[in-house]
A = this chain, B = another copy of it.
Amino acid sequence: MNIKKEQIVTPWQVSGEIDYEKLISQFGTTKLTEKLKKDLENKTKSKKLHLFFRRNFIYSHRDFNKIVENIENNNFYIYTGRGPSGKMHIGHLISFITAKWFQDEFGCNVYIMLSDDEKYLISKKLNLEEINKISIQNFEEIAAIGFDPDKTFFFKNTEYISKMYKTALKFAKRTNLSTAKAIFGFNNETNLGHIFYTMIQIVPTTFERDKYCLIPAGIDQDPYWRIQRDISEKLNFKKVTAIHNKLLSPIQGINGKMSSSNENSAIFLDDDEKTIKNKINKYAFSGGKPTLEEHRKYGGIPEIDVCYNWLNILFEEEDNKINEIYKNYKTGKLTSGELKKILIEKIILFIKKHKENKEKNKKDLNKYMYSGKLAKQMWEK
């Protein structure tokens, strides 16, 4: 008998084996077609799609065709964000890397929310002062991505609430408890702040009224956008558009979502070389065979191998190299140990570069938050 653990995917919980096809039908989103990706590629400056598109890591969308159709008219902006609950791991960078790619290719504005209110409201132990410290640390990590300081606005909700509250009220007036319960799974134990926060997360989808807002985010965040899309046009705002990436798996297996709560399931942005080596060697779920002899004879299963998957979606940029790795692993030519070594080197390089960028870009944080061209506009609104 084969009992699958029930799939639960909400903004606050991801558990069970995730069936991404099923999520598309469950959430009512649209699968990203090769045709739409080709259209996007044709309009890029670099004439090349980002890895996330090429490897089907970004795989689902809402109205992304509207963005692609008029992309040359600078008809959109990007909105994404992070809940500052602790230090960041590599999985937390996915949306920011995607945002940066769009900004480089098309020159669009990027808005990044730090939902310090949400994290305070759902945390069992952190107070607002602790969350504030984490927020600044997180902003420094995100600044490392290297956004354009005049086209990017970083904001914390408890600080930027003054400019968001009225719009939140407009959505809140039109969202009743029964809708919120159905979409977010709230119950009698849910606190009043958490319930209202869902409206705050919607507000930046209205920051540029004349343009489309495109959200690159994990598909687990989709419930928010469903409410926005139900209400926005009644308020003369455009329906938000979105592209959904799959979730970066934990080290222990290709299912689920990398989580900070299990230190050994994630590679953190401040991990040192030794820690990285140790985590991958010790915990990375392998698709290889138990003995070298069997592996050489029957080959490994790249599809269920965490190292292969991480290389595929995040660390091996070259299409021919990843194809070679796939083939060699599948035929048993490449061992699990060798595959781990390739991944470890890539991660170490990635983290090293990230740390350098973090130091280099710290000076821009004030621009992103207050003094850059876009940030200034947003505070003067």
Contact = CB atoms under 8 A, between A and B. Distances in A.
Interface residues of A, number: 34
A282 interface: no
Nearest to A193: B172
Interface stretch (A194-202, A215-223, A250-258, A368-376): A194-202
Contact of A177 (B120, B128, B158, B195): B195
A199 B188 contact: no
A83 to B, nearest CB: 14
- Most B CB contacts (10 A, CB to CB) among A173, A192, A198 go to A192
A117 B170 CA distance: 10
A27 interface: no
A180 interface: yes
A199 B189 contact: no
A128 B173 CA distance: 11
Interface stretch (A141-149, A160-168, A284-292, A352-360): A160-168
Interface string A320-359: 0000000000000000000000000000000000000000
A191 interface: yes
A70 interface: no
Contacts of A173: 120-121, 191, 193
Interface of A: 117, 120-121, 128, 158, 161-162, 165-166, 168-170, 172-178, 180-181, 186-196, 198-199
